[in-house]
Structure 1
Amino acid sequence: MRLRCAIAVLIGLAAARAHAITITDDSGASVTLAKPAERVVSLAPHVTELLFAAGGGAHIVGAVTYSDYPKEAQAIPRVGDNKALDLERIVALHPDLIVVWRHGNAARQMDRLQALGIPIYFSEPKHLADIATSIDKLGALLGTQQQARAASDAFTRDIAQLRARYAQRPSVSVFYQVWDDPLMTLNRDNVFDEVIGLCGGANVFAAEKPRVPTISTEAVLAANPEAIVTATPGATKPDRPLPALERWKRWPSLTAVARGNLFGIDGDLINRPTPRLALGAAELCRDLEAARERRPK
């Protein structure tokens, strides 16, 4: 009898291991769940969007400030923001999975979360293809693979269509203005640089270091971009107004100014690595096409 019980236990353990879910997150770490996650805490707005896209919106029990999309996300209880998390409230929600933004949440609090023993998935898509992959991986962790695959396929298809239409169009030099004081931009090590290339554009500061370099007005004037692009306020409004493009009108000979190529795009569409980035990409592509049409004949 004892032998049969022992065998039954071993069979049960083997079956449990066979049904366990193991996924590699964006930090390269393995995340293992004994069963699909039922109670998930999202610690970044883009994570909330990805979870909904993967079919797991109903399983999100906690989220951070500015987790505003889709509309249903606005009703999810808040557990902090990108500056501070309410760790006690997170624990009280009894999550079986926490999804965090690797470089957006405080490292000290991440250490405390990891000490709790709750599975943590680090999310930081760095390329357009990573967005689709992230949706599929989260779908696997949630047990919603079919919904996730439909969403990831749709995003991949939208990006492919934009690439086929615009990537080989005549190049447009682009300055992406992240901030105005100090003046900041992005180099090639980010998703939006890839979007610029997707639209047939060329980031004039792609080779700069670090990832978000501070530059001078003189550097922009010397680069003489054909188009200047910035993010306009989405839901994630900063502590002070986003940089305006009006400053560049002091240099009417600047090509982007002379041809009226000063463009603003909803920040939530271009700053979040989610399926909505395809909408932001489509808007940028239309703007750069307008810049081409404004070239002297």
Structure 2
Amino acid sequence: MPALNHLLSAFLLAYLSITQAIASTVVIEVQDDRGHKVKLSQPAQRIVSLAPSTTELLFSAGAGKQVVGVVSYSNFPEEAQRITSVGSYNQVDLESVLALNPDLVVAWYSGNSPAAIEQLKRLGMPVYLTETRYLEQLPVTVRKLGLLTGHADSAEKIAEQLHQGLVTLKQQYSQQRPVRVFYQVWDEPLITINQENLISQVIELCGGQNVFADLNSIAPRISVEAVLQANPDVIIASGMEEQRPEWLDAWQYWPSLNAVKQQQLHFIPPDLIQRQTPRVLQGAILMCQQLAQTRQRLSKASNE
């Protein structure tokens, strides 16, 4: 019996040591937007963000204080402007990234250089790739970043608020009378969006129809003639600044356009609609209100 007790004790000690070893190496594991698994042995404490949108997403998830590097135009929230810069989204300074000794890099798949991303991976850095094409992805991304950074609870609150806000808008507006929408990204060259762009989904959410949804490119160049032929009920522009672009009113030169006839030339600040962040909800609210105004104008015109 003493021998048996000794054996059981030895087994118990071995079991406990193995259990502790396993516990100490338990990883946080999530799948990024490209289907790659990102594993961490503990919540990330030194994060480098390679796009303005990913910086904003990290702050939304509650991890702002853990972000040690950002790229240019990471201007929201205000605290992000005081974080060390590692270049621009399309020209990342890898030496600056390495100098910050990050334990997580959050990158933008279609915006950052593929070569830079691959080099960071080869150096053994965990890289989480974002590629937001659907509104439903935004709450999911916030939750995943919360898990990776140790802020699951606060991230869940933000994600749920965003989800519920989008659901409410869909219920209120998506079945309303369709409104034909031309969304103008830029004037020279004249650029719009197709159905793969997140903004097109906001248009649908608000009961609109993107007149250039079927084009092949996600941000296609078009002609003035194409806009005249499409004859949208409303033109919505964002441009690059926080002020309404002067070129939006250039459409007044074509008074035959429905949008001009009904005085439906609208502006949404670009950071509220062109960045894939929770602030898209604010942009969506503005767009839904604008399309509601267009419906009223069209209804009034049809009754005259």
TM-score above 0.5: yes
1:31-42 aligned at under 5 Å gives the runs 31-42=38-49
1:120-199 aligned at under 5 Å gives the runs 120-199=127-206
Following superposition, the deviation at residue 242 of structure 1 comes to 5.8
Match of 1:292 in 2: 295
Q: Which stretch of the first structure deviates more once superposed, 160-169 or 40-49?
A: 160-169
Which residue identity is paired with 1:181? E
Backbone CA RMSD of aligned residues? 1.9
The answer to whether residue 16 in structure 2 is matched with residue 13 in structure 1 is: no
Following superposition, the deviation at residue 243 of structure 1 comes to 7.3
1:1-297 aligned at under 5 Å gives the runs 10-17=18-25, 19-234=26-241, 244-295=247-298, 296=301, 297=303
Q: Give the gaps of 5 or more residues in structure 1.
A: none
TM-score, normalised to structure 1's length? 0.92
Q: Give the gaps of 5 or more residues in structure 2.
A: 1-9
Give CA deviations for 1:150-191 in whole Å, capped at 9, x if unaligned.
000011111111111111111100011112222221110021
Following superposition, the deviation at residue 233 of structure 1 comes to 3.5
Percentage identity across aligned positions? 42
Following superposition, the deviation at residue 214 of structure 1 comes to 1.7
Give CA deviations for 1:89-145 in whole Å, capped at 9, x if unaligned.
211111100000011111222222112101000012211110000000000001110
Counterpart contact for 2:185–2:239, Cα < 8 Å:
no
3-state SS of 2:247 partner = coil
Counterpart contact for 2:179–2:207, Cα < 8 Å:
yes
Distance 1:169 1:58, change over 3 A: same
| Larger Rg, first or second structure (1 or 2) | 2
Following superposition, the deviation at residue 32 of structure 1 comes to 0.3
Counterpart contact for 1:180–1:243, Cα < 8 Å:
no
Counterpart contact for 1:45–1:67, Cα < 8 Å:
yes
Aligned structure 1 segments of 4 or more residues deviating by more than 2 angstroms: 3-13, 232-235
Measure the CA separation in 2 of the matches of 1:30 and 1:42: 18
Aligned pair count?
290
Counterpart contact for 1:199–1:284, Cα < 8 Å:
yes
Which residue identity is paired with 2:117? M
Measure the CA separation in 1 of the matches of 2:20 and 2:87: 40
Following superposition, the deviation at residue 198 of structure 1 comes to 0.7
Match of 2:3 in 1: none
Q: Which stretch of the first structure deviates more once superposed, 171-180 or 83-92?
A: 83-92
Counterpart contact for 2:186–2:239, Cα < 8 Å:
no
Following superposition, the deviation at residue 147 of structure 1 comes to 0.3
Measure the CA separation in 1 of the matches of 2:223 and 2:246: 15
Following superposition, the deviation at residue 13 of structure 1 comes to 3.4
Following superposition, the deviation at residue 247 of structure 1 comes to 2.5
3-state SS of 1:179 partner = coil
Which residue identity is paired with 1:271? Q
Counterpart contact for 1:179–1:242, Cα < 8 Å:
no
Match of 2:7 in 1: none
3-state SS of 2:48 partner = strand
Following superposition, the deviation at residue 31 of structure 1 comes to 0.3
Counterpart contact for 1:21–1:33, Cα < 8 Å:
yes
